[in-house]
Structure 1
Amino acid sequence: MAAALRKTQQLRSTLCKTPKNPIFTTFPKPLQNPKSTPCLQQQKPYSTKSSKFPEYEMPSVTWGVIQGRKEKLVSRVIICDYLKSMGIIPDELEELELPSTVDVMRERVEFLQKIGITIDDMNEYPLMLGCSVRKNIIPVLGYLEKIGIPRARMGEFVKNYPQCLHASVVVELVPVVRFLRGLDVEKQDLGYVLMKYPELLGFKLEGTMSTSVAYLVSIGVNPRDIGPMITQYPYILGMRVGTMIKPLVDYLISFGLPKKILCRMFEKRAYILGYNLEETVKPNIDCLLSFGVKKELLASIIAQYPQIIGLPLKAKLSSQQYFFNLKLKIDPDGFARVVEKMPQIVSLNQNLIMKSIDFLLGRGILVEDVAKMVIKCPQLVALQVGLMKNSYYFFKSEIGRPLKELVEFPEYLTYSLESRIKPRYLKLQSKGIRCSLAWFLNCSDQRFEERIKGAYIEAESNGPSFFMGGKLELPGGDIVSEDEEDESDDEILYRRTVSL
């Protein structure tokens, strides 16, 4: 080291001397400060601030002087000893080029610690110590903060994806961000998306990301919904079409689920694409069938409650089946009918269910009749007790019908008292018409007006079959609205699908 310093001083003194050969003599330019000479002017130190990313402090030391082989070995030993003293295992750094002085390595370690990286994190991925603070770390962190990743969570981001420190901002990071923006991911959502799935920064644009998006659009997903889908579930961009997305789509379509409904499910609940076909979806379908659910109704069940194919279903079904059998003596076949009509029942809290059941039992309705009501209209167990009370008291005080009619048509309690039950009942009273609950409630406003204007009362049916989120379907093919006449089966199922 001393020899190198002497050589440097000799070179500097040689350059400062005026050459004796007149051929190389140049005319000096007038100096603004005649008291100073070029040789004596002190060089400006490196700025501790970066002009591009001023928010991060630049290191005060650089890689150091050029060393020979012997000096490099000595410096490497010193740096490794320092890392060991900090609790960092330097074994994986053997093939990595290290700085020439321990001061540079010390500043790297301290910089990483400032942003929240611990010694354990460095041991998990020691290659981050090979990144230059000036050339690698600061440009990357500055760009990440610029696109929306908060500084307070920068350490968490680097922990989850430390490989980003090796990336080139211009060559690797910027193209991925532009790709996301091109898919209509909002600018303010970029940070959220990358925090959720930081590995996106390492994907190739022409690979999995492009093919997964192209396939979803090809089956009918609205291109304008791709951005919101990725914001909600960015893991879509890492899924392979041939092994993950397409097999799931084909399997669900095989049960008669139209692509139109399937795409709508994906648009609103993109995480469904992440359900494992072999480990989760197929076992859940088999579980539904084993509990007595009819295969032809699987499409309707999935359309009403898409999450059912990703739940720990066997445990939930077993628990709810036992509960309904214990409280209402509903047999397995009756429970299967409940699931078919309202699959959300598998996730309902049993305390919530008991509130509705206790209310009905408290009105003097027999347990057997409450069971019949629940099987016919499972939505009863999900209603607010306060709304049920209002509708029930109107039924007893104003309509004045026997409880038998309520047991036969439990759907009465699911209709709005103020917007449907009261107005229609008052019209019937003014016309002097007496009819069943189903006749004046289970129809559209247009059909109701046609009924009360008619000179006759049409034949009544046994009651509707209720599907959560859709219109009531009258048995026997009765028409609820005239628009249904020309609709295909897919369109009817689509219209009756619960609003996702």
Structure 2
Amino acid sequence: MLLCHSSPGSYSPALYHGGLRPNLNPSSLHLISPLQVSPLPSPSSSQRQEFVAVIDESDHTRLSRRQNARSAALFRLHEQQEKINMSSLHEEEDGEELQRQKIVDEASLVTKRIARFPGSIDFPKEDAVVVLGSDEQAFKQALEIRRGVAAEVLKVVIEAAEMKVVREFSHLSFNARAKSYIQRSGVVNLVKWLKHNSLTYPQIGQLICFCSSNLEAVRRLAEWLKTIHVKGKYLGYVLVKASSILEYKLEMLDQIVDYLAEKGVKKEWMGFIVSRCPRVLTLSMDEIKSRVNFYMHMGMDEKDFGTMVYDYPKVLGFFTLEEMNSKVNYLTEFGLSTEELGRLLSYKPQLMGCSVEERWRPLLKYLYYLGVRRDGMKRILMAKPVIFCVDLERTIAPKVRFLQDIGIRQEDIGSVIARFPPLLTYSLYKKIRPVVIFLLTEAGVTQENIAKVIACDPQIVGCSIINKLDVNVKYFLSLGIRLQTLGEMIADFPMLLRYNLDVLRPKYRYLRRVMVRPLHDLIEFPRFFSYSLDERIIPRHEILVQNHVNFNLRCLLASSDEEFNQRVQAFIENRRKFEYGEVHANLSNTESHLEIAVTS
């Protein structure tokens, strides 16, 4: 501690922050030993500013005369700064812990990925989800692949060891003998050639494992596949999936291609067909003939058979004959004849890829619950067979629920589906809902009548809003029909919005200019546009003009020719009787007047 004398001349007063600061004389100070004071770090400029701010915030009292006052203030400021740094550090650690926990929670929600391991050859598609039962199952799968790879490596080791007894290789090391064996086997050149033809390394590894004894067979088969127009990116897929044909002779494969070409499958299509279903080439000639005859007996010709195989190659080489027979027998229960079944399969061969138990039976139970009978199911199958190929829960059930929500009764939904099966194939959010919203907002149809409109004419859902519905609505509004009145007309006759303007304009022009009918007649009977102008409207109007008869539009058009003629004759007869009655009454009145005159 610094000590000073209290003599008056030892300091001169100076103004410092409102107080007096002593002007100390260094000669009059008694300093303590430096060993008794622990050195403090020199304060930085920022610390000095903070220290001054602390002094400014005080009560402006006279500073303490203690020599370590400034050092103590800096020390306290340093402690506060350390506390702030420690608290911020703890907050960062807590934030990192929360972020880490969030990542763990999100990862737990992700679908379990396929187990991958070194040496894996099969690379599944991204949309394929395989959930392994346990780590033991994944280990067994990895072990099986590893065994195949180890077998090939062991073969190289054995061959390199046997080369030790050969005089020209006896002086070489083991690595040199192994390298020489690999080069002599042609693996390196084959790998380079296959890689040049767009094969992946896992595919190349599988092919070498399949035919390690005859590597030239891979090159020979790949060259043959190119001749039938198999593209490079599908070449490896076909070689791996149809690896059993590595042992086949090329003459046998040519025989299969020529036979299919005779039955309507063009050779230009063979590359596309084999790329989508390589198992076609693995069938024997007898199996190919039996499958072709299976479809030919349904009444298919070569053209239908060829296009069917091109559209869905699995129909020929993927399913067994037992599966094909069971599906065909199930379809015949709808009352289809053999020829109808042949036309159905040639139009939609994807039906053969659907399961009877998992796809068809649940669908038929659901349709029967909605009120669709056997004839309706047959109509659905023949008009839109794709309905039997789509998912029930994701595609069909949401649309049925939507029809129920807009007010269509459950007993009417079955008839709606049977009359217009494509309704179940339309997109709910891109097609069905927009049409319903348009009818409610732009066509004047009320919520009470929207169910009636869809139930009476479900085909209106298939019309384009921009090219059909909106154009017709604007046309009727241009005739002077109010929006609310137009909605009532649509509820009475929903087909009104499905006609082309080329059909509507001539009929309306004839109604107003020739028939001289008011617009009110058209509003009362909007079905006027559904009758033929040349075959119904004009001939009957001319009959009315010739006989001086006038009927309303409903009586004029909504009857058969016989009923119309009877109605016209009855009207003429009533008019004749009426006119005859008036003449007879006039004659009797004249005679009475004459008699009175004579008597008078």
Q: TM-score scaled to structure 1, two decimals?
A: 0.71
Alignment of 1:186-265 (within 5 A): 186-203=301-318, 206-265=321-380
Shift of 1:248: 1.8
Shift of 1:101: 5.9
Which residue of structure 1 lines up, in the alignment, with residue 497 of structure 2?
381
Cα deviations by residue, 1:316-359 (Å, 9 ceiling, x for unpaired): 23212332333234333333222112112222111221222222
Work out whether residues 93 and 126 of structure 1, in 8 Å CA contact, stay in contact via their aligned partners in 2. Answer: yes
Shift of 1:383: 0.8
Return the match for 1:108 from 221, 232, 252: 221
- Tell me the distance in 2 between the aligned counterparts of 1:368 and 1:183: 55
- Tell me the distance in 2 between the aligned counterparts of 1:456 and 1:220: 53
Which residue of structure 2 lines up, in the alignment, with residue 86 of structure 1?
194
Shift of 1:427: 2.2
Name the stretch that deviates more: 211-220 or 228-237.
Answer: 211-220
Work out whether residues 182 and 188 of structure 2, in 8 Å CA contact, stay in contact via their aligned partners in 1. Answer: no
- Relative distance call for 1:216 and 1:112 in structure 2 (3 A) is closer
RMSD: 2.8
Q: Hey, which of these two has a bigger chunk of helix by percent? A: 2
Alignment of 1:63-212 (within 5 A): 77-79=185-187, 81-87=189-195, 88=199, 89=201, 90-97=204-211, 100=214, 102=216, 104-127=217-240, 128=242, 130=246, 132=248, 134-170=250-286, 172-203=287-318, 206-212=321-327
Return the match for 1:400 from 482, 499, 516: 516
Alignment of 1:297-376 (within 5 A): 297-351=412-466, 352-376=468-492
- Tell me the distance in 2 between the aligned counterparts of 1:93 and 1:80: 13
Work out whether residues 338 and 378 of structure 1, in 8 Å CA contact, stay in contact via their aligned partners in 2. Answer: yes
Alignment of 1:430-469 (within 5 A): 430-454=546-570
- Relative distance call for 1:85 and 1:364 in structure 2 (3 A) is same
- Relative distance call for 1:204 and 1:312 in structure 2 (3 A) is closer
Name the SS of the counterpart of 1:361 in structure 2.
helix
- Tell me the distance in 1 between the aligned counterparts of 2:229 and 2:184: 26
- Tell me the distance in 2 between the aligned counterparts of 1:206 and 1:122: 28
- Tell me the distance in 2 between the aligned counterparts of 1:121 and 1:135: 22
- Counterpart residue type for residue 186 of structure 1: D
- Relative distance call for 1:210 and 1:447 in structure 2 (3 A) is farther
Work out whether residues 117 and 155 of structure 1, in 8 Å CA contact, stay in contact via their aligned partners in 2. Answer: yes
Shift of 1:455: 5.8
Work out whether residues 186 and 227 of structure 1, in 8 Å CA contact, stay in contact via their aligned partners in 2. Answer: no
- Tell me the distance in 2 between the aligned counterparts of 1:223 and 1:361: 52
| Number of residue pairs matched by the alignment | 387
- Counterpart residue type for residue 219 of structure 1: F
Shift of 1:160: 0.6
- Compare relative contact order (CA 8 Å, sep 6+) and give the higher one, 1 or 2: 1
1:267 and 2:382 matched: yes
Work out whether residues 99 and 105 of structure 1, in 8 Å CA contact, stay in contact via their aligned partners in 2. Answer: no
Shift of 1:407: 0.7
- Tell me the distance in 1 between the aligned counterparts of 2:416 and 2:572: 38
**Percent of pairs identical after alignment?**
23
Work out whether residues 231 and 271 of structure 2, in 8 Å CA contact, stay in contact via their aligned partners in 1. Answer: no
Cα deviations by residue, 1:77-102 (Å, 9 ceiling, x for unpaired): 41464134431332213542356463
- Counterpart residue type for residue 443 of structure 2: L
Work out whether residues 221 and 264 of structure 1, in 8 Å CA contact, stay in contact via their aligned partners in 2. Answer: no
- Tell me the distance in 2 between the aligned counterparts of 1:250 and 1:450: 50
- Relative distance call for 1:456 and 1:333 in structure 2 (3 A) is farther
- Tell me the distance in 2 between the aligned counterparts of 1:118 and 1:131: 22
Name the SS of the counterpart of 2:503 in structure 1.
helix
- Tell me the distance in 2 between the aligned counterparts of 1:149 and 1:188: 8
Which residue of structure 2 lines up, in the alignment, with residue 470 of structure 1?
none
Work out whether residues 547 and 572 of structure 2, in 8 Å CA contact, stay in contact via their aligned partners in 1. Answer: no
Work out whether residues 236 and 274 of structure 1, in 8 Å CA contact, stay in contact via their aligned partners in 2. Answer: yes
Q: Where does structure 1 lack aligned partners over 5 or more consecutive residues?
A: 1-68, 458-500
- Counterpart residue type for residue 117 of structure 1: V
Name the SS of the counterpart of 1:220 in structure 2.
coil
- Relative distance call for 1:306 and 1:268 in structure 2 (3 A) is closer
Alignment of 1:23-38 (within 5 A): none
- Tell me the distance in 2 between the aligned counterparts of 1:132 and 1:80: 24
Name the stretch that deviates more: 386-395 or 369-378.
Answer: 369-378
Work out whether residues 334 and 378 of structure 2, in 8 Å CA contact, stay in contact via their aligned partners in 1. Answer: yes
Name the stretch that deviates more: 161-170 or 116-125.
Answer: 116-125
- Relative distance call for 1:449 and 1:251 in structure 2 (3 A) is farther
- Counterpart residue type for residue 500 of structure 2: Q
- Relative distance call for 1:237 and 1:428 in structure 2 (3 A) is same
Shift of 1:294: 2.4
From the CA coordinates, give the structure whose radius of gyration is larger: 2
Cα deviations by residue, 1:136-175 (Å, 9 ceiling, x for unpaired): 43222222222222222221111111122222122x2111
- Relative distance call for 1:75 and 1:214 in structure 2 (3 A) is farther
- Tell me the distance in 1 between the aligned counterparts of 2:507 and 2:320: 58
- Relative distance call for 1:294 and 1:168 in structure 2 (3 A) is same
- Tell me the distance in 2 between the aligned counterparts of 1:124 and 1:134: 19
Work out whether residues 287 and 314 of structure 1, in 8 Å CA contact, stay in contact via their aligned partners in 2. Answer: no
Q: TM-score scaled to structure 2, two decimals?
A: 0.60
Work out whether residues 194 and 200 of structure 1, in 8 Å CA contact, stay in contact via their aligned partners in 2. Answer: yes
Q: Where does structure 2 lack aligned partners over 5 or more consecutive residues?
A: 1-157, 163-180, 574-600
Name the SS of the counterpart of 2:448 in structure 1.
helix
